[in-house]
Structure 1
């Protein structure tokens, strides 16, 4: 059965990995891409809106610039390859979609564009307008300006964040593997997992960090992170192989990660953020209270890590360091450290001003 057939999924994000778009010599796999364009056109005729997250710029640029290691020998090489390859990538997308009577648009984004709330909303509005006009937006990370410290690092997580911004109900990660296995699929006896209702420690243990082609940057760990982000926003996510012709229309084995009940748009944005200014570590009692929908009180905090201001997004971690939630802090890090572990009646004397009732209020918090 095809992945996410309309009308069950009015808006779909499709991520295409580098190894599918570009052959080992660094040339576009044109015939395969024309098949993808035909699949997208068929879905358009049935009323489905499609966003494409397309890898391949670095691989394409590296060939043109004759760079070693596929353009990934250094950050500078990757940035130069991306700048060169992106123009070729956008051109071929415009051509193959144009042949199907569809207009393509290019959007290049950085991590900050989707982590900053105002810029995120701007990107969301642009995507919504393009889709309303019948355009297929083609997105990629802006690798020519991204740094090692501030970047998505792979297009799997970018696709999940784009799905949030676009209000999509489904995400398909087309890759060189047809889904999740209980162990590395190269090992004897590996079993394919067709559906995942919840990403827990057992599922996480199945992930393999390798990228099978050596051309891309994302392995199964990044795909699980993408599934977690998409599911929290109410979107189902499928990992499927693109190693067949017309993978969006041909029956294909895949792993489907089932969506949770969607959080509010603001909380989904917080849950899906990949960066935080600091971490508030909490005790077992506070962890239990958070799971029950309570706010985080200073008495439950055991340690403050990082430097942050009031209103910054922080990670909340349990006694064993496991991330529990993300939220907007009511205190700067210096004041949070002064009152950590102390009861409310002590706060005014410690701070020298009338304290706020919580470290992180439940209205400004998203559980993970």
Structure 2
């Protein structure tokens, strides 16, 4: 084997289905409008990579790529006469409404130079934490890929409220990589990788590989991007890499200018090794993308049943309720000390819960009717939380596939 081949990252080189995320600062001008040359440069890299022959031993078949692209709000700033990203949600939504069309039109024209079609997919966290919506999102993306199109994914900023927002496209990209069962996630920004301090400070070094959380102990991670048009910084990228790696998807974090090298498997940027196994199911989305609308307090027996035996939550195990939520909303499950132990989709409105507390399903069915002879949270709609908030440990069931 040639020395150049030995230097490649095999998992990256052989990846067949890839998710690439590009940040706003890598696509826009300082004034906030789209930079056509930057968009074209990215598309050039992607199109050439998709056209490249499959590597020997990679299982054959062509490559597929999903592009998670920021830039809609940034692209809408200049056309609306805004000189910076607005802080209020209403003007952010207005900018996204204008900018999303400009962004997709630019991608459509750019990919057309290579005979490639694109498809726009706009998501909110509410679309993907619920079972039927999750399946529909997967089928849409999978079909677009099967038909040779490049899905352009973004958060649906025009309708997303604070309660159903992903918060940043780095996290969205990690979850999309899980959703489409990707072999690789590439996070592109204006920084060439993760450093052990401020990259502008002399003496700091690039961290070339991360095999687990211990490799980042004591590392000072910046929280803001340089361009000021996006929402994320290095913190969100590392968090996204952790989510993807824990779901069995390796991650390359580097700059947009090194995209071609990153996709080819050359040792650029920071490489996050897998730390968990690949799984099918939407529970990762429930853990990382949903915002709880309230909480259910569990007695000690119910906590043991849910956490240790992985059972559904029954009314008899309830000790209290917090917040105002509707059936189908995500809620936290807490112990009596207030520590969140799980998150799930609740089957009852908050106003119904008080009459259920501590009672058996048989008694409830006899008094209130058969609709009350069911779980408060079904185990297939429930994910356990580790010590770090929103990290799933539950097995994904067949109902999620």
TM range (shorter): 0.7 to 0.9
Flag the 1:339–1:79 CA change in 2: closer, same or farther, 3 A.
Answer: closer
Alpha-carbon distance between aligned partners in 1 of 2:283 and 2:101, rounded to the nearest angstrom: 35
Give the gaps of 5 or more residues in structure 2.
1-7, 55-61, 385-391, 393-401
1:11 partnered with 2:14: no
Alpha-carbon distance between aligned partners in 1 of 2:293 and 2:201, rounded to the nearest angstrom: 40
Could you tell me which residue of structure 1 aligns to residue 321 of structure 2?
A: 304
Flag the 1:142–1:269 CA change in 2: closer, same or farther, 3 A.
Answer: closer
Q: Displacement, 1:123?
A: 2.2
Could you tell me which residue of structure 2 aligns to residue 22 of structure 1?
A: 28
Report if aligned partners of 1:297, 1:358 keep a CA contact under 8 Å in 2.
yes
Alpha-carbon distance between aligned partners in 2 of 1:339 and 1:319, rounded to the nearest angstrom: 17
Report if aligned partners of 1:58, 1:81 keep a CA contact under 8 Å in 2.
yes
Q: Secondary structure at the match of 1:265?
A: coil
Could you tell me which residue of structure 2 aligns to residue 166 of structure 1?
A: 180
TM-superposition CA deviations, 1:262-295 (whole Å, max 9, x none)? 3441434433432233223557886666554433
Alpha-carbon distance between aligned partners in 2 of 1:321 and 1:159, rounded to the nearest angstrom: 31
Q: Displacement, 1:187?
A: 5.6
Q: Displacement, 1:31?
A: 3.8
Q: Displacement, 1:26?
A: 3.2
Flag the 1:134–1:337 CA change in 2: closer, same or farther, 3 A.
Answer: same
Q: Displacement, 1:162?
A: 2.3
Q: Displacement, 1:81?
A: 2.5
Report if aligned partners of 1:54, 1:139 keep a CA contact under 8 Å in 2.
yes
TM-superposition CA deviations, 1:145-167 (whole Å, max 9, x none)? 33344322321122223223323
Q: Displacement, 1:198?
A: 4.5
Alpha-carbon distance between aligned partners in 1 of 2:334 and 2:218, rounded to the nearest angstrom: 18
Flag the 1:199–1:313 CA change in 2: closer, same or farther, 3 A.
Answer: farther
1:242 partnered with 2:259: no
- Structure 1, 247-256 or 202-211: larger mean CA deviation: 202-211
Which of 126, 133, 137 lines up with 2:147 in the alignment? 133
Could you tell me which residue of structure 2 aligns to residue 52 of structure 1?
A: 67
Could you tell me which residue of structure 2 aligns to residue 62 of structure 1?
A: 77
Which of 106, 112, 127 lines up with 1:98 in the alignment? 112
1:261 partnered with 2:277: yes
Q: Give 1:1-368 correspondences, 5 Å limit.
A: 1=8, 5-7=12-14, 9-45=15-51, 46=54, 47-69=62-84, 71-185=85-199, 190=204, 192-198=206-212, 206-231=220-245, 233-244=247-258, 246=260, 248-249=263-264, 251-256=267-272, 258-281=274-297, 290-295=306-311, 303-309=320-326, 311-317=328-334, 323-329=340-346, 332-334=349-351, 336=353, 348=363, 360-367=377-384, 368=392
Report if aligned partners of 2:253, 2:270 keep a CA contact under 8 Å in 1.
yes
Q: Secondary structure at the match of 1:248?
A: helix
Report if aligned partners of 2:191, 2:254 keep a CA contact under 8 Å in 1.
yes
Alpha-carbon distance between aligned partners in 2 of 1:210 and 1:130, rounded to the nearest angstrom: 34
TM-score, normalisation: structure 2: 0.74
Flag the 1:151–1:191 CA change in 2: closer, same or farther, 3 A.
Answer: same
Report if aligned partners of 2:163, 2:291 keep a CA contact under 8 Å in 1.
no
TM-score, normalisation: structure 1: 0.79
Alpha-carbon distance between aligned partners in 1 of 2:361 and 2:144, rounded to the nearest angstrom: 54
Report if aligned partners of 2:295, 2:323 keep a CA contact under 8 Å in 1.
yes
Q: Displacement, 1:217?
A: 0.5
Q: Secondary structure at the match of 1:123?
A: helix
Alpha-carbon distance between aligned partners in 1 of 2:362 and 2:325, rounded to the nearest angstrom: 19
Alpha-carbon distance between aligned partners in 2 of 1:182 and 1:348, rounded to the nearest angstrom: 59
Report if aligned partners of 2:186, 2:253 keep a CA contact under 8 Å in 1.
yes
